[in-house]
Structure formats: structure tokens, C-alpha cells
Amino acid sequence: MSEMKYRRLGRTGVKVSVLSFGSWVTFDTQLQTDLALECMQAAHDAGCNFFDNAESYAGGKSETIMGEALRQLGWPRWSYVLTTKLYWGIHDKRQGNTVNMRNTLNRKYLLQAIDGSLERFGHDFVDVVYCHRADPDTPIEETVWAMSDIVSSGKALYWGTSEWSADEIRSAIDIAERHHLHKPVTEQPQYNLVARRRVEQEYARLFEETGYGATIWSPLASGLLTGKYRDGVPADSRGALAGYEWLQSRLTNSDEIAKVERLRPIADELGCSLAQLAIAWCAANPNVSTVITGASRPQQVVDNFGAIDVLDALTPDVLDRVDAALE
């Protein structure tokens, strides 16, 4: 496997591996601590230094599992970038009134939620904390002040956004600059071969004018771009998990599967899998700081990270052929 490549996270000085590892869906649902540890070690061995999580993943259990795995792995804290995301909340209505603790970015929630995340991780700080969604009911100014205070307190080194509109991000940056606060530095949007508009169009001027980073999720479109759903939903796949029935209609959509199959000859010519082609394609976008991958077993991590060998083969001609295949 080729050596990992690293890029600056937006205009910050911190560098992140072009391919990274995240825990969405898999941790607790498919992985407990031992297997999560093995997957993280496989990613680490491939040069990954960016590990993504969120408060809401598995109701907080994902942070707990990752934190325990990191404790057992014993890596120096300075050697990796750890992230989490806040918005959805995890408090149970049976324990008290949750009106201020769910689906919000108000100051009360954010300042208490970061403490909960750090306790589950067993860490003093995260490197990046994201607002997991925008909150139309809380003034952006209140959210910016709260996130800036989290950074000032040392509980996070940077903050960012996830699935915010370009206008919302610009507003947050403007407020931070006006009040000399810590401004957001990166977005975490969905981006893949079949979900391109926001990153390539809506954010285009944002990237150009502000240097905003992008730590993208779902590079395989929840597994669609692996090609494994052409004959139905495998029993051991994400699409077969309880609670993810909403994915099945997309994963088995004949038009979408036909698009994926038109990519197969290109992958074959490059000597890679469809998954590796799809991941490398995301990383070929210079505005992408890192591509967050997921896996349910260590070999899958190794296979996904093999996309680093494909990256240099994505010439303009190959990229044009990929575009044509998806039309």
C-alpha cells in the first residue's frame, strides 16, 4: 500500500490523513470494543490519524467504545485527531424534561453535552467538535459564542459544522470575525459519486473564499457504491440492520445500481474494487480534507484504505469517464 497522504484541515495548521475512520452505524451495532480496537489499529497502521465520532451514535455508546479502545491501544494523545458532533442529544425523557437537550444548539445544551462526550471518551479534549446539524430555533450568534467558549476552555481545539448550508456557515464565520471569536474551520457533509451537488456547487465559493475544510462522510453512499447490492441486500450488510430499513429502497434501486455497474469496467481497468474507486474519487477533490470511511471488520479497513493506491491513477481522463458513466 502506498504511504498515506496528509492535508491541512481547511486553513488550520493541523494535518489530517486523506483517508480516515469513523464509527457511525458500526460501533455498538456491529462492533464492540475488541473488534473496534482491531479496526482502529488497522486504520492506524495504514497511516490514519483522524478518528470521527458523535454523541448521538448508538446513544453515546460509540464514544464509550472508541474511548476504551484508545485507552487499550495506548497511542500518544498527540498522535491522533479525535472528533465528535453535538446536536441530537441522548437524554431520556423518562429521566427529566429534555426540551433544552435534544435537537438543539443552544448554549445550555452545548456546554453540558461536550462534558458528557469527554467523560465517555475518557479524554480531556477533542481536537474538533462539530455542530451536527443547524438549529433554526437558536440564533446562530448564541451557537457561535458557545462553540467559541468550548474552544477557549480547552475542551476542543477547533470547531466545525455538519450539514449546514453555505449561508449558515458564512453567517457563523462573519459573527465570529466580528466579535473576535474562534470561528468554524470545517464542514462535515455527505459527499460521494451520487451525492455531489452541495460540495461541488453550493460550497464552491465558500471553499474558494474562506478555505473552509471538508471532512466528508458516506463516500460509499451507505454501501451502494461497493456494488454488493446488485443481487439484493446481504444478511451481514448495513442495509439488513434493524432500524436501517429506510436504506433498503435506495440500496436496491435499479437505476442507482445500473449507474454503479457502469463504473465496474473502470475499476477493473484500474485494478481496484468499486469501493476503492469511489473512495479515491472523493479524495481526488482538492477541497476534501479527509474522507471518513467505516468498516465492520479489520480486513474491510485494509481494503478501503487501499484506495490510497488508486488516487494517483485518477487522471482527468479517468475522471471524465466516471462522470460519463453516471449520466
DSSP string, 37-51: HHHHHHHHHTT--EE
In this model, does residue 93 exceed pLDDT 90? no
pLDDT at 240: 55
Determine which of 14-18, 218-222, 250-254 has the lowest per-residue pLDDT on average: 250-254
pLDDT at 140: 98
Asked whether residue 83 is assigned to any structural domain, the reply reads yes
Asked whether residue 243 is assigned to any structural domain, the reply reads no
Helix (H/G/I), strand (E/B), else coil: 66: helix
Amino acid at 221: A
Determine which of 20-24, 118-122, 125-129, 247-251 has the lowest per-residue pLDDT on average: 247-251
Report d(CA 176, CA 77) in Å as an integer: 29
pLDDT at 92: 87
Which is more confident, 313 or 233? Answer: 313
Asked whether residue 231 is assigned to any structural domain, the reply reads no
Report d(CA 61, CA 59) in Å as an integer: 6
**Can you give the residue range of the structural domain that contains 76?**
6-226+274-317
Closest CA to 289 of 25, 31, 50: 50
Asked whether residue 192 is assigned to any structural domain, the reply reads yes
Amino acid at 79: S
Q: How far is CA 41 from CA 3, 207, 212, in A?
A: 16, 32, 29
Asked whether residue 151 is assigned to any structural domain, the reply reads yes
pLDDT tens for 34-65 read 899 999 999 999 999 999 999 999 999 999 99
310: domain CATH number?
Answer: 3.20.20.100
Would you call 57 a catalytic residue per the annotation?
yes
Please pick, among 6, 57, 203, 212, the residue that the annotation labels catalytic: 57
Asked whether residue 262 is assigned to any structural domain, the reply reads no
| Confidence at 243, pLDDT banded by 50, 70, 90 | low
In this model, does residue 306 exceed pLDDT 80? yes
Asked whether residue 244 is assigned to any structural domain, the reply reads no
Asked whether residue 266 is assigned to any structural domain, the reply reads no
| Structural domains in the chain (count) | 1
pLDDT at 232: 58
Strands (E), 108-177: 126-131, 156-161
